[in-house]
Structure formats: C-alpha cells, structure tokens
Amino acid sequence: MVSVLVTGSNGQLGLTFQDLTLDFPEISFDFKTSEELDITKRGQIAEAFRKGNYNFCINCAAFTNVEVAEKNSEEAFKVNAEGAKNLALVCKEHGVAPIQLSTDYVFDGEKEGAYSAQDIPNPINEYGKSKLKGEEYIQSILPNKHYILRTSWLYSKKHGHNFYKTILKKAQSGKDLHITDAQRGCPTNSEALARFILNEIVLGDKPFGTYHFADGKPMTWYEFAKQILEENGLMKTTKLVLDTNYRTLAKRPKNSVLR
C-alpha cells in the first residue's frame, strides 16, 4: 500500500482528495490541516514524518490570495516558498517524494500560445514569484526526486472559495455580473486534478519532474462565467456584463493557458 501525506487538507484541493479516499483503497492517506501541520515550522513537519511512513507528500498548503499577496508578500513567501523548502528538506531526510502544486502565474502571459512545462517562468506578481521560489527550492534540494505540478484557475463545485461558486451564488441571488475578458486561461476542476495526481503519479509511473495539468478548453473569465450560467440554467435570469475597466492591485498574466 502506498502511503501519502496531504498537507493543507482543509483547503479546496485537500478536501477534494478526502472525497476520493474510497475510490483509491490502495492508498493510505494521512490528511493534515494547516492548523494541524504548519509547513512554515520545520519542526512540526519533522515530527509528522517521524510518526508517519510516507511514500509521497502532496503539498496543498498555500497562500493563494493573489491580491493580499501583493500587499503582504512576506507572508506569501513564508508559506509558498519557505514552507515548500521546509517540506523538501524533511522529504529528503526521510526519502519521501514531494508533489508540489504550483500555478500558471509563474508565467508573465506574453506568450502567444499555450505554455509548456519547458517554458521559462517570469512571474509578474508577488503570488507568482512566491510560488516560483518554492519550485526552485524543491528543485535544488531534491533535484532527482520531486514532482512539480502547475495548474490554472482551479475550482471545485463543492469546496472552498472560487470563481465558480462565487458566480453561481451571485447569479442565484439575482445580482448582475460584471466580468472581464482581459485574461485567458484554462479552468481546472479540482476533482480532475486530484484524480490525475493519484492515478498518474502516486499509482502511476511518471518520471520525476515538472508537469502541467489543465482541464477543459482555454477561455476568458467572461466566457467561463457564461459557461457556469449555462450549466446551471441561469442565462435567462442573469445579466452578464463585459467589464472592460476591470482593475486589480496585482498584475495578472493576460494569457496563462497551460499546455
């Protein structure tokens, strides 16, 4: 049986992994919430690894608020970079393979087509910079035994705070939706991502390295909102407005489509 530690198990992706435990009886899961295991504290990680006998560590613990990261980059780097470094160091000590979740925001968005895993990152906001630093720590500490998995526009219809649930809630309450089309990416369902990790990495035989996983076709946020409304039969009752003046504190890549 394969033993897997999942950090940040109270987040959107972590909760999705918990939903799938019965589908993967050949995997022994140990779920740790961010309160139970703070990855910014190496001692806590070491204690958890001493008690467990893990083959893999899926790191779902992350600072994901892009706007707040722009104002508080120190906290974003503490979790996304230093936390990843702590995990990598302890994984190395115990012979565990880390599976690090990363982001499309490590790219600047200037490329015309989709980004491959071999493209050179160039983040334009603090969140992207912190996630890239986490990648670099893992690559340097465990150069031959790690997985970095970049994904984009992650959403769950059941868990967490995400674009899908926000659009649905506003539409159901009768609010008008003002959505931008200035960014293009690939919405990714958290269950599809979790199943890919468990089937292709944990139970599969993929070589160590960096991968991209994006679910569905490329689209803008406006097109994604339209799709959500259509899926839930809300197009006729909701006013969807294209907002050309949408502004954010953090710069966003205009194209973050992952190949």
Tell me how far apart the alpha carbons of residues 157 and 164 are, in angstroms, rounded to a whole number.
7
Note whether 215 and 186 are within 8 A (CB): yes
What are the tokens at 161? Answer: 């705070």
For 181-190, b where at least 16 C-beta lie within 10 A, e where not — what string?
bebbbbbbbb
Among candidate residues 54, 105, 115, 127, the one labeled active-site is 127
Is 155 assigned a catalytic role? no
Note whether 3 and 181 are within 8 A (CB): no
Name all contacts of 16-24 with Cβ < 8 Å and 24+ positions apart: 16/156, 16/158, 16/159, 16/190, 16/191, 16/193, 16/194, 17/58, 17/60, 17/194, 17/198, 19/158, 19/191, 20/191, 20/194, 20/195, 20/198, 24/198, 24/203
Cα 33 to Cα 57, 60, 104: the distances in Å are 13, 9, 24
| CA 54 distance to own-chain centroid | 22
- Helices 221-231 and 163-172: crossing angle in degrees, nearest 10, is 60
Give the side-chain half-sphere CA count within 13 A for 146.
26
Cα 14 to Cα 34, 85, 135: the distances in Å are 10, 20, 19
Which amino acids are annotated catalytic? 127
